Amino acid sequence: MDFRLTDDQEQFRSMLRTFVDKEIVPVAREWEQAGRYPTEIVEQMKQLGLFGLMIPEEYGGAAADFTSFTLMFEEIARGWMGVAGILGSHSLSCWMIARHGTDEQKRRYLPDLATGKRRTGIALTEPDAGTDLQGIRTTAVRDGDEYVVNGAKMWITNARYADPLPVLVKTDRTTTPAHKGMSVLLIDANTPGFRVTKDIPKLGYKGTESCEVVFEDVRVPVGNLLGGSEGRGMQQVLSALEVGRLNIAGRSLGIAQRAYDEALAYSRERQAFGKPIADFQAIQIRLAETATQLQAARLMTYWSATALDRGERSDLQTGMAKLFSSEIALQAAQESMRIHGGYGYSAEFEIERLYRDSILMTIGEGTSDIMRTVIAKSLVAGKGKVGW
């Protein structure tokens, strides 16, 4: 076993770290509190090629490995998790189009998505359907060479910039089980009847928008059916969510690392009873526990990334990584807040933002309890094992 990064991965991480420390960290708290969209940061991410990370080279992308994919989210989330979210939905959708799209769809969309000229996201969740995707109500009825789409989606990241927006729909409401009647349509921006109705206020995860979108008699060409065959939508989406869990695990590592860094620095500077609070055993125990759990989460996350790089089915590995890392992110933020004392509760310090962002990690891409169910099903079905 070799736990070291390759030279290329090390260089990529170094580039990301410099970018984050120079361009994101100094402005994150101020821009987040002001509700300011990080336009300048997005432009720099385009120049760095980050929007094309998961797109094949033939379409202008980097065709990166999943370890580099994870490094990107860890480093950017260390600076500002909301900015990582802009790349998260985009990368997941690009990977899905690259893997499942027709040749024509790939040629039409991927080159511009690789440069960031176009951006994208993915529309799954509905007001009455989150975890239970088979319960969605958005429909697409075939009418000649078009589908007519009606319905609504919620919590859609990048909704105001997505072009196209992959949308999970029911193309056959009579088929059982329901997932056999589900498909993904690539809906272009500015298509009549496709509206972003509002931005949803959130506790954290700011910097990127989370929106409600509505489809009213939206006419979508049959050529925009992802992969060209009806009834494949659930499989396409689930394969993307497998990658999405790795994205969340990486973001969780970034939050946890920043929370630990802030706690360690503060404990060295803060004086009590004539000495730094880092000299007190109670603080040392919290630091040691956070550092140990963070490193364990990191090892599990990159273990799952290497499984995907080997082409393995990785529901078990990514589920474990997402579950453990997200819980550790929340725990690290809480411990850092305790070490900061009253200052940790102040919006003038980074930790309160990290705490608000960490909560989403235990919810997004499947709650922690859903992850436990995914892991258990993999074990019971013999699709994974504990051990080497």
Contacts of 215 (CB under 8 A, 6+ apart): 138, 149, 150, 151, 152, 153, 167, 187, 193, 194
Q: Tell me the C-alpha distance between 157 and 75, whole Å.
A: 20
Q: For residues 354 and 343, give the distance between their C-alpha atoms in angstroms, rounded to a whole number.
A: 13
CA distances from 173 to 36, 170, 183, 205, 219 (A): 41, 6, 11, 34, 18
Burial group, residue 27, by CB count within 10 angstroms (0-12, 13-18, 19+): middle
Tokens describing residue 62:
């980097």
How far is the C-alpha of 77 from the C-alpha of 24, rounded, in Å? 10
Which one of the listed residues 242, 262, 335, 365 is annotated catalytic? Answer: 365
Is residue 365 annotated as part of the catalytic site, yes or no? yes
Residues designated catalytic? 365
